[in-house]
């Protein structure tokens, strides 16, 4: 209770009564928290920009009783201006925020998730990587953070290293032979498997730093789409989500 200092990224915002706003903020140490910002739209209020989505903030918060933190003061560390003028990028990041908001809770150590989100937003703001590439890599890396930890070093059934499919049922790579008896397994080429392994085990700063052919990328994208729909929910189908916003 009392004053708390932390850093955070705004992943949702909603109007509250009068001129107040409630922000959903992802922080490394407190997990996902709700922050009440008083008097945002007051004539003298100067807090407007800190309530924008995806802004990275230095925060001083106050908590008395209840679940909501009260904003004492905030400074913008990084506003990520570039993404705000691009409707497609905002759409992809809205998907990512929704996913994070749904899976994270308060009082959960979110250091790795926060680092992944920051890297992802930064790369969206840089225009150097394809939008769908970024969200796909984000989704796959998220499996590790969520603790799904797929088996990727050998076939789940016969232990051979020569794997070529992914078994959703067993959460593991499997070989061509064993895939015949695993209905619903997803074929992955050698380069798609290498990319999958890279995303799951690489250093967090390098997770987006690899090249992949269009064909192998399409396999990876299909894999993670089926995976998230099966393990989490059908609403995390990226194509359907994006189609609602972009015509
Ligand atoms: Zn096998």
CB 172 within 8 A of CB 156: yes
Q: Cα torsion for 217, 144, 129, 163, to the nearest 10°?
A: -20
Ligand 1 center to 210 CA (angstroms): 28
Q: Which two tokens stand for residue 34?
A: 């709700």
- pLDDT category at 66 given cuts 50, 70, 90 is confident
Give the Å distance between the CA of 155 and the centre of ligand 1: 5
For residue 158, the CA-to-ligand 1 centroid distance in Å is 4
Q: Which of the four pLDDT bands, split at 50, 70 and 90, describes residue 69?
A: very high
d(CA 234, CA 78): 33
The position carrying tokens 């995390």 is 236
Task: For residue 166, report the distance from its CA to the centre of ligand 1, in Å.
Answer: 11
Could you report how far apart the first and last alpha carbons of the chain are, in Å?
Answer: 47
pLDDT at 164: 97
Compute the distance from residue 219 Cα to the ligand 1 centre, in Å.
Answer: 20
Scored b (16 or more CB within 10 A) or e, 101-113 reads eeebeeeeebeeb
- pLDDT tens per residue across span 171-211: 999 999 999 999 989 999 999 999 999 999 999 999 999 99
Distance 177 CA to ligand 1 centre (A): 6
Distance 21 CA to ligand 1 centre (A): 54
**Residues linked to residue 172 through DSSP beta bridges, in sequence order:** 151, 167
Distance 170 CA to ligand 1 centre (A): 12
Task: Give 157 Cα–ligand 1 centroid separation in angstroms.
Answer: 5
Report the distance separating Cα 235 and Cα 95, nearest Å: 10
Distance 225 CA to ligand 1 centre (A): 24
d(CA 124, CA 116): 12
pLDDT computed for residue 68 by the predictor: 92
Q: How far is the CA of 179 from the centre of ligand 1 (A)?
A: 7
How much of the chain, in percent, has pLDDT values that exceed 90?
79
* pLDDT, tens digit, 9 for 90 and up, residues 123-162: 999 989 999 999 999 999 999 999 999 999 999 999 999 9
* SS3 state at 243: helix
pLDDT for 108 equals 86
Kindly report the average pLDDT of the chain as a whole number. Answer: 92
Domains by residue range for the chain, with CATH: 2-81 (2.40.50.140), 129-245 (no CATH)
């Amino acid at each position: 209770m009392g004053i708390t200092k932390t850093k955070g990224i705004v992943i949702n915002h909603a109007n509250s009564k009068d001129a107040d706003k409630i922000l959903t903020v992802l922080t490394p140490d407190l997990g996902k928290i709700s922050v009440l910002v008083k008097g945002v739209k007051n004539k003298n209020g100067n807090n407007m920009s800190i309530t924008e989505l995806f802004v990275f903030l230095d925060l001083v918060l106050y908590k008395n009783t209840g679940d909501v933190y009260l904003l004492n003061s905030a400074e913008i560390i990084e506003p990520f201006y570039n993404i705000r003028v691009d409707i497609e990028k905002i759409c992809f990041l809205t998907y990512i925020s929704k996913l994070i908001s749904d899976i994270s809770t308060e009082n959960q150590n979110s250091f790795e998730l926060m680092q992944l989100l920051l890297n992802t937003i930064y790369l969206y703001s840089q225009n150097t990587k394809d939008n769908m590439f970024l969200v796909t890599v984000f989704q796959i890396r998220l499996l590790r953070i969520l603790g799904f930890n797929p088996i990727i070093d050998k076939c789940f059934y016969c232990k051979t290293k020569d794997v070529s499919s992914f078994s959703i049922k067993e959460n593991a790579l499997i070989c061509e032979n064993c895939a015949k008896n695993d209905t619903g397994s997803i074929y992955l080429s050698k380069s798609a498997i290498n990319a999958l392994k890279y995303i799951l085990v690489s250093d967090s700063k390098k997770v987006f730093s690899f090249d992949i052919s269009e064909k192998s990328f399409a396999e990876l994208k299909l894999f993670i789409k089926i995976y998230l729909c099966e393990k989490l929910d059908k609403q995390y189908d990226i194509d359907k989500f994006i189609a609602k916003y972009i015509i």
